[in-house]
Amino acid sequence: MTTQTTNVTGKRLNWRRITRHPAFMEYRRLAFIVAAVNLFVFATGLRDGRWGADGAYALAPIADMALINLSLGILIRQQRVVNALFWLATRVPVSWPLWIRWGAGKVFHFGGLHSGGTVAGTIWFAFLLFAMGANRLNGAVLPSDLTLGLSAAMVALMVLMIVSAIGPIRARFHNAFEKIHRFAGWTVLGLFWAQTVSITRDMGGVLTETPAFWMLCLITLSIISPWLSLKKVDVEIVKPSDHAVLARFDYGDTPFPGSSNAISHTPFGEYHSFANIPAPGASGYRLAISRAGDWTGDFISSPPDKVWVKGITTSGVARIEVLFRRVVYVGTGSGIGPILPHLLAGEVPNRLIWSTRSPRKTYGDALVDEIEAHTEHPLIWDTDEEGKPNLSALALQAVRESGAEAVIVISNQKLTRKVVYDMESLGIPAYGAIWDS
């Protein structure tokens, strides 16, 4: 299954060790494609004089490019769009060649279009602001001071959002990142509306006849739609240990396996998404929440009676299991949460490797018994007794023994990337969260 050749020293070279490296994952490839397309459009525009002539910049085509990119970046993350993408990807039948199904399973890398589109859109908006200022300095009456001011504020806030989303910054100041993206994003949307109205007035046009008006309507609807379904619901907490809880909900929503919901203590507070654990034939669902920071620590230490749920049930990584005849699940700790609904549903034959500290003591006998009853020969590795395992080696062994076509990993970032990379270097499709939000 591996792609190998012989190098000049006579050693076997596995090209997948290069092509499947996390630095070249599909998320980054999509972002690169967005950047390449924008560079091509910009270069051809320079050649054809599309961006201006006779010492004046043409503002309309620059504004169009900014709007197109920002619309892509925003709409691709809308929950209904995400569910539609997963639905389309999982229509590929298992009779198709493995390489096609391997690629279709990477649907969750769509975040590359989000980051690529928003960064490119910000650059185009900065170019637009520069062009407006240059035209004014060259004696143009328009755009107005109001339009210039609104545009400058938009660019400043968008740059702040991009900087806060840079990997190391986002990881260190995650709460600040969330607040900036929410509140600065809402502010940018309001400024975008004001700028569109101001530009239309400057040009003497009719607002409803501009493409920007209708696209802004769609963007606004996309952004506010999760908040339209905001609800406060009862939650029942089972606390098997001080490290983890099982939260049960039954408010009329029974989600599908491979989905998640976002919950918070307050309506406009910090939201966290967890994988839903529905049980066949039962209403409602559970969430497995383990201690992994201030928010989850407070949730476990002081379990609430009610929480807020925002948005709709949204597809997640493990949803792609249906693309394969048999899969191996690799999970650590509360990573069993996203895996368990697939074990219970039994839609795709599977093998399970679950590494965790004192599984029965931490998560309770009932949960462990449930896992053992719904999967064939599960390997439950107690790290307190046996130490940390080599998950890549265990996954490879399980693939060879079971004939699985893919590995799905639910763990922390470092372990997920390692196991996915190790498997794909051997020609085995592997999937795991990419921490792009």
We report the CATH number of the domain holding residue 293 as: 2.40.30.10
What pLDDT sits at residue 53? Answer: 81
* Mean pLDDT value of segment 254-277: 92
Q: Tell me the two tokens of residue 110.
A: 């769509």
**Domain end residue (candidates: 225, 241, 265):** 225
AA identity, residue 199: I
Burial class of residue 151 in the structure, from the number of CB atoms within 10 Å of its CB (0-12 exposed, 13-18 middle, 19+ buried): buried
Q: Is 5 a member of any domain? A: no
AA identity, residue 171: A
347 lies in the same domain as 294:
no
For residue 57, pLDDT over 90 is answered with yes
303 lies in the same domain as 376:
no
AA identity, residue 264: S
255 lies in the same domain as 212:
no
Compute the Cα dihedral for 170, 176, 177, 180 and give only its sign.
negative
Q: How confident is the model at residue 6 (pLDDT cuts 50, 70, 90)?
A: very low
Listed in sequence order, the residues at least 6 apart from 281 whose beta carbon sits closer than 8 Å to its beta carbon are: none
Q: Is 133 a member of any domain? A: yes
Query: What are the φ and ψ backbone dihedral angles of 56, each rounded to 5 degrees?
Result: -130, 140
What pLDDT sits at residue 434? Answer: 87
Q: Tell me the two tokens of residue 291.
A: 């201690």
Query: What are the φ and ψ backbone dihedral angles of 249, each rounded to 5 degrees?
Result: -125, 145
313 lies in the same domain as 326:
no
Q: Is 1 a member of any domain? A: no
Lowest mean pLDDT among 171-185, 206-220, 253-267: 171-185
pTM to 2 decimal places: 0.91
Q: How confident is the model at residue 16 (pLDDT cuts 50, 70, 90)?
A: confident
Q: What is the extent of the structural domain holding 303?
A: 231-317
Q: How confident is the model at residue 385 (pLDDT cuts 50, 70, 90)?
A: very high
Distance between first and last Cα of the chain: 33
Q: How far apart are CA 327 and CA 329, in angstroms?
A: 6
Tell which residue, 371, 413, 411, has the closest CA to residue 395. Answer: 411
239 lies in the same domain as 105:
no
- The percent of residues in the chain predicted with pLDDT above 70, rounded, is 97
Q: Tell me the two tokens of residue 378.
A: 């599960």
The two beta strands, 430-432 and 272-275, are unpaired
Q: How far apart are CA 128 and CA 152, in angstroms?
A: 10
What pLDDT sits at residue 64? Answer: 93
AA identity, residue 69: N
Q: Is 7 a member of any domain? A: no
360 lies in the same domain as 308:
no
Per-residue pLDDT of 192-240, as tens digits, reads: 999 999 999 998 889 999 999 999 999 999 999 999 999 999 999 999 9
Q: Is 12 a member of any domain? A: no
36 lies in the same domain as 181:
yes
Q: How confident is the model at residue 437 (pLDDT cuts 50, 70, 90)?
A: low
For residue 30, pLDDT over 60 is answered with yes
Q: Tell me the two tokens of residue 172.
A: 């260190």
For residue 150, pLDDT over 90 is answered with yes
* Mean pLDDT value of segment 363-386: 93
Query: Helix axis angle, 79-89 relative to 211-228, nearest 10°?
Result: 90
AA identity, residue 309: V
171 lies in the same domain as 250:
no
239 lies in the same domain as 219:
no
269 lies in the same domain as 353:
no
What pLDDT sits at residue 268? Answer: 87
What pLDDT sits at residue 55? Answer: 83
Q: How far apart are CA 303 and CA 131, in angstroms?
A: 54
Q: Is 13 a member of any domain? A: no
Q: How confident is the model at residue 401 (pLDDT cuts 50, 70, 90)?
A: very high
Q: How confident is the model at residue 12 (pLDDT cuts 50, 70, 90)?
A: low
Q: How confident is the model at residue 435 (pLDDT cuts 50, 70, 90)?
A: confident
Q: How confident is the model at residue 15 (pLDDT cuts 50, 70, 90)?
A: confident
What pLDDT sits at residue 13? Answer: 61
Q: Output the domain CATH number for residue 365.
A: 3.40.50.80
What pLDDT sits at residue 1? Answer: 41
Question: Torsion over CA of 436, 113, 188 and 142, rounded to 10 degrees?
Answer: 150
297 lies in the same domain as 155:
no
**Domain end residue (candidates: 225, 258, 288):** 225
The DSSP code sequence of 352-366 is EEEEESSHHHHH-HH
Q: Which residue has the higher pLDDT, 13 or 17?
A: 17
How many structural domains compose the chain?
3
Q: How far apart are CA 165 and CA 171, in angstroms?
A: 9
The DSSP code sequence of 251-265 is SS--PPTTEEEEEES
Q: Is 17 a member of any domain? A: no
What pLDDT sits at residue 218? Answer: 96
* Mean pLDDT value of segment 244-256: 93
Listed in sequence order, the residues at least 6 apart from 23 whose beta carbon sits closer than 8 Å to its beta carbon are: none
The DSSP code sequence of 376-431 is SS-EEEEHHHH----HHHHHHHHHHHHT-SEEEEES-HHHHHHHHHHHHHTT--EE
52 lies in the same domain as 182:
yes
Q: Is 2 a member of any domain? A: no
For residue 27, pLDDT over 60 is answered with yes
For residue 354, pLDDT over 50 is answered with yes
**Helix or strand (DSSP H, E) at 330:** strand 327-332
Vertex 132 angle, CA 128 and 133, to 5°: 120
For residue 393, pLDDT over 90 is answered with yes
**Domain end residue (candidates: 192, 225, 258):** 225
